Amino acid sequence: MDLDHDGEYAENIKEDINNQGVYVYKPPKTAKAHGERPPKRRKVLKDNPNQEDESLPFLPLLGGKEKLELAQLRHSTFQQLWSEQEQRIQNILEDVDSDILEKVTSFIRTAFPQSCGGRIPTALINIGSNVSSLSRLLDRLNHKLITAGEGGVVVLESGDAFNLKTALKNIIRTAVTNTEGNEGYQKFLTDRAGPRLLGYDLELLNDYVKRRQVRKLVIAFRDSEAFDPSLLTDLLSLLSSWLDRIPFTLLFGIATSVELFEGRLARSTVALLQGRHFEIHDAGDSIDRVYEALQTNQDVRLWLGHNVTSVLFEKSRDYFQSPEAFGRTVKYAYMSHFFANSLAVLLSDSVSTSLSQSELCEAIRNLPSFRKLCEDLLDSGNPKQVRSLLNDDQFLLQEAKRHVKEGQKMMQHLFQSVKAVSASLRFLRQFNEASISDLSVSALAGELQSSPTIEEILMAIKKLDSESLRNLLVSLTSILVDSSELRTIQDDLQRLVESNKGIGPLRSEYDDRHLVMQTAVVEQRVKLNKAKAKLSSQEIEYTEIVDCFHATFEAFLKETLIKPQALALHEVFVFDLKHPLRDTFAPRSRFAIERALSTPFDYLISTSDDGEGNLSAMQPTTAILYQLYLESGCLVNVYDLWRAFYTIVGGEEGEQYDERMAFTLFYRALSDLKLLGMVKSSRKKIDHIGKTAWKGL
């Protein structure tokens, strides 16, 4: 061992340790005191000046090139239009609930324990599956009682009553916070004189009733069938013992029937209640009324198309849907239209040519309805107008606004006709009454005008007597206010009816009562023939009025029951996408690939008449191999696939490609299918490939 070497090594280590750097920690001079807030961070400008404003709910469209003013205008227009529609929905719901609200309020105000024989006044409301209507009713009832200073409503659900103490605590807390708020509830507990009571002691509620002079305290069991019967028995027994000090009134929401609900309770508990039964009507009629208000109002500027309307009512028929849920679905459709369609800005009244943008004008020119408009203008001999639409952005924007206004008027007339047809069906009472929603689905598809319903209505009109026709005209003129022809017919009919000196109403020549049977002997055989009886002068005049009304009403329906898809720029004011966000932002790539491989000339221009057919040599090789692949089973013999491919590509004598080139194209096409995930190597058979995808699945 070399000792000198070891000593030298030890000295080097010692010297390295002595020469190591020393780091001294120096805290900053401007140290913050404990609890002092950090300094506010300085705002830094964004690197990208075109970056979207975080406060803008709707992002710029047109590839991000849309002006921020246009995006803001889309959002403000959406808020304006939907606020109007939402107000209409609320008015309908208030009108629907007004009857049951008045009845329940009257019962609560007039029912007292003294008049109920010492029992608790109880309202049993049968809601069926219409659960949301009970929530609306309780909210409005609570607001009404608080506004009048009479009391309030305490809503208790099964989840709020795990045991008796929890139920009492929730009742007391809800009753106090209903008028005092959370802070008032805490102050009520702490500022109360005397010994501190527990949160579930009804003495607290008694003090609150005395302090606020509450005359009616309604305990509403929203889902009464979900409560534990034993818990409900104990709770009702306790409430009954305090009835002389606290003016309780009970309200039970029943989804089944009163008999089943009563059967779940003990007889002693039922004896404590004195009730009255109420029933809330089904929500189906409410949904029809909501849809009618959203579509047929004269101030509407955006309509739901045939596809969206069909989906909405299929959804409401498949399972129960409340009017609120129906309104939220319509709101989603409105929002989707304004969020994903840059052309929705044309629905705004404040859009002007100063906000025009070349990208927006190009989006208008790419609409299918715009191309159809240009074709119609060319067919009518207006090439200059078409040239201006294609080249002049200002002229295009002005014409687009004009066509949107005209299209909106046509849509308003369309739904006026739907209301007129519905009123006629209700009045005639000869056919199955169709609702506004059913007629709207047919009208939006452009099928109502040629439907048997219209033919039956027009046929029945000719057979109406004067009294029935007069009542029908009164009903139609209230809908078709702007129709001067109907008012003229109504005046003529009124004058004729007043001059009628007969006993019964006037009848036209089309009435079955004017048909008489005539007998004739032909070749010793008796034949019966139908003939018309002789009409009086007033009946002849009435027949002329009927013919005039029939022709006017038929012409009106023919003019207004148009197909919305035929209107210019209907994409702006008619929303008709079943899946708006998916169709706009998430295209179905697999469907597009399958369609491109199945029918490639939907995307490619063919120079041959034979290019449109299936399995044509003019198609791309990958498309040819894919169509052969569709005809095979789970396992495909590669040699058989190659021979079929070569028969098409090379021809029987190899006129198109020689075998070597065709084999190269075959393997390239097979590699494309493998890249798309449609084939894979088979472990069962070496010369086979496995099929991994089927078209449409």
Give the pLDDT confidence of 554-610 residue by residue, as tens digits.
999 999 999 999 999 999 999 987 666 555 555 567 788 888 888 888 777 665 554
Sheet holding 120-126, edge to edge: 151-156, 216-221, 248-254, 120-126, 273-279
What is d(CA 442, CA 23) in angstroms, rounded to the nearest whole number? Answer: 85
> C-alpha dihedral over 305, 306, 311, 313, to 10 degrees?
100
What does the pLDDT read at residue 82?
93
Amino acid letter, residue 351:
V
- Per-residue pLDDT, averaged over 46-61, amounts to 60
- Nearest Cα to 226, choosing from 251, 261, 259, 200? 261
Q: Which residues pair with residue 532 across a beta bridge? A: 515
Tell me the pLDDT of the chain averaged across its residues. Answer: 80
Determine phi and psi for 635, rounding to 5 degrees.
-110, 135
Would the pLDDT of 130 be above 60?
yes
- Nearest Cα to 516, choosing from 533, 495, 540, 541? 533
DSSP string, 672-686: HHHHTTSEEE-SS-T
Amino acid letter, residue 40:
K
- Nearest Cα to 483, choosing from 565, 577, 548, 393? 548
What does the pLDDT read at residue 408?
92
Determine phi and psi for 217, rounding to 5 degrees.
-120, 105
Sequence-ordered list of residues with C-beta below 8 angstroms from that of 219, at least 6 positions apart, any chain:
154, 156, 171, 239, 248, 249, 250, 251
What is d(CA 102, CA 278) in angstroms, rounded to the nearest whole number? Answer: 11
Give the Cβ contact number of residue 537 at 10 Å: 7
Would the pLDDT of 44 be above 70?
no
- Nearest Cα to 316, choosing from 401, 435, 200, 433? 435
- Read off the tokens for 42: 């300085």
Q: What domains are defined for the chain?
A: 87-281 (3.40.50.300), 285-411 (no CATH), 450-560 (no CATH), 589-691 (no CATH)
What does the pLDDT read at residue 46?
47
What does the pLDDT read at residue 406?
93
Tell me what percent of the chain is helix, strand and coil, each rounded to the nearest 5: 60, 10, 35
Distance, C-alpha 332 to centroid of its chain: 6
Would the pLDDT of 410 be above 90?
yes
- Read off the tokens for 190: 């702490």
Q: Are 142 and 104 in contact (CB under 8 A)?
A: no
Would the pLDDT of 616 be above 80?
no
Report which of residues 4 and 114 the model is more confident about: 114
What is d(CA 472, CA 49) in angstroms, rounded to the nearest whole number? Answer: 64
654 pLDDT band (50/70/90 cuts)?
A: very low
Q: Report helix, strand or coil for 412.
A: helix
Would the pLDDT of 192 be above 80?
no
What does the pLDDT read at residue 129?
63
Would the pLDDT of 360 be above 80?
yes
What does the pLDDT read at residue 48?
45
Spell out a b/e string for 188-201, using b for 16 or more CB atoms within 10 Å of the CB, else e: beeeeeeeeeeebe
- Per-residue pLDDT, averaged over 354-369, amounts to 85
- Read off the tokens for 512: 């079955």
> C-alpha dihedral over 412, 416, 422, 424, to 10 degrees?
-160
Sequence length of the chain is 697
Determine which of 4-8, 240-244, 444-448, 506-510 has the lowest per-residue pLDDT on average: 4-8
- Per-residue pLDDT, averaged over 265-276, amounts to 86
Tally the C-alpha atoms within 13 A of residue 207's C-alpha that lie toward its C-beta.
Answer: 16
Q: Are 341 and 78 in contact (CB under 8 A)?
A: no
Angle made by CA atoms 664, 665, 671, in degrees to the nearest 5? 95
- Nearest Cα to 677, choosing from 587, 614, 594, 603? 594
DSSP string, 575-629: E--SSHHHHHHS--HHHHHHHHHHSGGGTS--SSGGGGSSS-TTS-HHHHHHHHH
The model's pTM is 0.69
Q: Report helix, strand or coil for 523.
A: coil
Determine which of 166-175, 355-364, 383-392, 516-525 has the lowest per-residue pLDDT on average: 516-525
What is d(CA 409, CA 415) in angstroms, rounded to the nearest whole number? Answer: 10
What are the Cα distances from residue 454, in Å, to 78, 196, 428, 550? 36, 76, 12, 12
Q: Are 543 and 506 in contact (CB under 8 A)?
A: no
- Per-residue pLDDT, averaged over 348-356, amounts to 71
DSSP annotation of 505: -
| Greatest mean pLDDT among 534-543, 611-620, 621-630, 683-692 | 621-630
- Read off the tokens for 641: 């696939």
Report which of residues 12 and 395 the model is more confident about: 395
What does the pLDDT read at residue 19?
54
Amino acid letter, residue 459:
M
492 sits in which H/E element: helix 484-498
Share of the chain above pLDDT 90, in %: 12
Would the pLDDT of 655 be above 90?
no
Tally the C-alpha atoms within 13 A of residue 429's C-alpha that lie toward its C-beta.
Answer: 4
What does the pLDDT read at residue 49?
42
- Residue entry with tokens 């080097």: 12
What is d(CA 63, CA 135) in angstroms, rounded to the nearest whole number? Answer: 45
Would the pLDDT of 309 be above 50?
yes
Report which of residues 238 and 528 the model is more confident about: 238
- Nearest Cα to 89, choosing from 298, 288, 311, 317? 288
Sequence-ordered list of residues with C-beta below 8 angstroms from that of 323, at least 6 positions apart, any chain:
89, 92, 93, 96, 132, 283, 286, 287, 290
Is 489 exposed, middle or buried, given 0-12, 13-18 or 19+ CB atoms closer than 10 A? buried
Pairing mode, if any, of strands 688-691 and 635-637? antiparallel
Sequence-ordered list of residues with C-beta below 8 angstroms from that of 606, at least 6 positions apart, any chain:
612, 618
Determine phi and psi for 488, rounding to 5 degrees.
-65, -45
What does the pLDDT read at residue 81?
92
- Read off the tokens for 450: 């040629």
Q: Report helix, strand or coil for 437.
A: helix
- Nearest Cα to 493, choosing from 460, 471, 461? 471
- Read off the tokens for 409: 């008027």
Tally the C-alpha atoms within 13 A of residue 582's C-alpha that lie toward its C-beta.
Answer: 5
Query: pLDDT per residue over 202-216, tens digit each?
Result: 888 888 888 888 888
What does the pLDDT read at residue 180?
80
| Greatest mean pLDDT among 147-156, 359-368, 528-537 | 359-368
- Per-residue pLDDT, averaged over 278-304, amounts to 83
What is d(CA 294, CA 578) in angstroms, rounded to the nearest whole number? Answer: 18
- Per-residue pLDDT, averaged over 661-683, amounts to 86
CA pseudo-torsion sign 544, 545, 546, 549: positive
Would the pLDDT of 656 be above 80?
no
Q: Which residues pair with residue 217 across a beta bridge? A: 152, 248
Q: Report helix, strand or coil for 280.
A: coil
What is d(CA 230, CA 163) in angstroms, rounded to the nearest whole number? Answer: 10
Would the pLDDT of 150 be above 80?
yes
How many H helices and E strands in the chain? 26, 12
- Nearest Cα to 687, choosing from 625, 638, 642? 638
